[in-house]
Amino acid sequence: MSARTQTFLWIGQRASAAVLALCVLVHLCTIIYAVRGGLSAAEILGRTRGNAAWLGFYSVFVFAVAVHVPIGLRSILAEWFGWQDESRDLVLWVLAAVLAMMGIRAVFGVFG
């Protein structure tokens, strides 16, 4: 992998971390607000169904996770287990796709 690609991975890691910091904050505030007076599936779905703003927000959240997690794991796998070759990156591409797909599926699950 070229120095350029590795640099873009690092930029992606930093940028997705910034997005995640904001997303997690909004997500936590929403949880704290939502559980006041008990939590029910109907109440949650009432908020998210057909709401394009939440759809957009959680899609961005999922995308940031799918970028951030595999790049972070990439260093952990290299440093802890010495796994540095291309097979690692291939597996992480698959992981990124799985995370994105599962996340988007859930986002659409509460939207539609």
Partner 1 sequence: MPREESQTVLDVVTYVQRHLDASLAYRFACRVGMCGSCAMTVNGQSRWTCRTHVSRVADDGRLEIAPLHNLPVVRDLVTDMTEFFDKWAKARGRFTGTRSRHEDFERVPPAGRREEVDAGIECIGCGVCYSACDVVSWNPDYAGPAALNRAWTLVQDVRDAATIERLRAVAGDAGAHACHTHMSCTERCPKQISPTAGIAGLKRAIAMAALKGEL
* Site of interaction with partner 1 (CB under 8 A): 1-4, 6-8, 10-11, 75, 78-80, 84
CB 48, min distance to partner 1, A: 36
> Degrees (nearest 5) of the Cα angle 51, 54, 60?
140
Rank residues 4 and 36 by Cβ distance to partner 1 and give the closer one: 4
Rank residues 78 and 97 by Cβ distance to partner 1 and give the closer one: 78
CB 72, min distance to partner 1, A: 11
Q: Tell me which amino acid residue 40 is.
A: S
Per the document, the length of the chain is 112
* CB atoms inside a 10 Å sphere around CB 96: 19
Q: How far is CA 56 from CA 15, 94, 111, in A?
A: 18, 24, 10
Rank residues 71 and 107 by Cβ distance to partner 1 and give the closer one: 71
CB 81, min distance to partner 1, A: 10
Rank residues 76 and 97 by Cβ distance to partner 1 and give the closer one: 76
CB 2, min distance to partner 1, A: 8
In three-state secondary structure terms, 107 is: helix
Terminal-to-terminal C-alpha distance of the chain: 41
